[in-house]
Amino acid sequence: MYWLMLGIALFGIFLIVLYLMSPLLGPKALSLHRAHVLVTGGSSGIGKAVAIEAAKQGANISIIARNKTKLMQAKQEIESFLKNSEKQKVEMYSVDLSGDYSEVEKTIKQAELNLGPVKLLINCAGNAIANYFENLPVSEFRRMMEMNYFSTVNVTKAVITSMIEQQFGRIVFVSSVAGQVGVFGFTAYSAAKFALRGFAEALQMEMKVNNIYITLAFPPDTDTPGLAAEQIGKPRETKLISESAGLFQPDEVARVIIEDTKKGKFLCSMGLDGYIVAMLTAGMSPVISIMDALQQVITMGLFRAISLVYLRFYDGVVTQCAEEKKKDN
């Protein structure tokens, strides 16, 4: 009994020491007040919600998207949330991110001339398609890479020089739960989002010396126009599997992304399922807080056991759908 108490007490002290040390590992928290925040895909969905959250916190904002009408509407909406409408500005740029790199670079230069060096880049531009592998044309695989991966590479490349000059920067890649776990129906989309992970880990290792921190966000299904479009052709299995994780609102996802980014956290997840998957798939990813590292160390084995239950459930869904299809034929 005595030894047990002593053990618990020592472990408690160990945790407190780790907790006290943990902020020492991370960068200084970013304040968005007066910061230039640039959001791609900023005219709708998570991108617009993130821009609104940054506006509330006093940032100057540039949004990039293709559709001028939507950009104009989004600009007005974001402006209605400004903390100080006399000092803060919202600028918009209509660009096709899948166009030539020089166009992207020109736009970023212009945005930096208007509002100063970008402190925080949020790559939200992206697009999902869900269908059975046998029904997906190979061209869709290429398109998914263009929209989710290469667009992020090009924009990030265009801001990195000035961030290195400033010796300051934060970059967000918006991935997806389907970028942590390969999900039924997402052969093309999951692969493109997984690509972001490799890019993010390598880039973080290169950029830490320049005080540049990358955040990889893994939102679950979020109530956006993008999700609505994605429903077209979505296999029933995909719906049943992803719906089990629940539906999130863009503003709650945006709040988590902004908070984690300000701290410089590498992995950013939402909800209990999101937390479990993030711990489970932490792998060799960079970590800036001892508390996070400790949680990963302690939970990984347990969460792997829980994941087996999830995998069994997914298998069940797939088997049941296959049997129903056989009956229908």
Ligand X SMILES: *[C@@H]1O[C@H](CO)[C@@H](O)[C@H](O)[C@H]1NC(C)=O
Task: Between 34 and 208, name the residue whose CB sits nearer to ligand X.
Answer: 34
Please, what is the minimum distance in Å from the beta carbon of residue 89 to ligand X? 5
Our finding on whether 115 is near ligand X (CB under 6 A) is yes
Please, what is the minimum distance in Å from the beta carbon of residue 31 to ligand X? 10
Residues 218/10, Cβ–Cβ less than 8 Å: no
Cβ atoms within 10 Å of 103's Cβ, excluding its own: 14
Residue in the structure block whose two tokens are 């999900």? 183
Is 193 a catalytic site residue?
yes
CA 122 to chain centre: 9
Please, what is the minimum distance in Å from the beta carbon of residue 228 to ligand X? 12
Tell me, residue by residue from 126 to 165, as one string, x for binding to ligand X by CB under 6 A and - for no binding: --------------------x---xx--x-----------
Binder of ligand X out of 28, 87, 142, 325 (CB under 6 A): 87
CA distance 287 to 208: 11
Q: Is 40 exposed, middle or buried (0-12, 13-18, 19+ CB in 10 A)?
A: buried
Residues 233/310, Cβ–Cβ less than 8 Å: no
Residue in the structure block whose two tokens are 């000035």? 162
Is 149 a catalytic site residue?
no
Query: How many residues at the interface with ligand X, by CB under 6 A?
Result: 19
Is 31 a catalytic site residue?
no
Task: Between 100 and 324, name the residue whose CB sits nearer to ligand X.
Answer: 100
Q: Give the burial string for 285-306 (b: 16+ CB within 10 Å, else e).
A: bbbbbbbbebbbeebeeebeee
Q: What is the binding site for ligand X (CB under 6 A)? A: 34, 58, 60, 67, 69-70, 87-89, 97-98, 100-101, 115-116, 146, 150-151, 154
By annotation, the residues acting in catalysis are 175, 189, 193
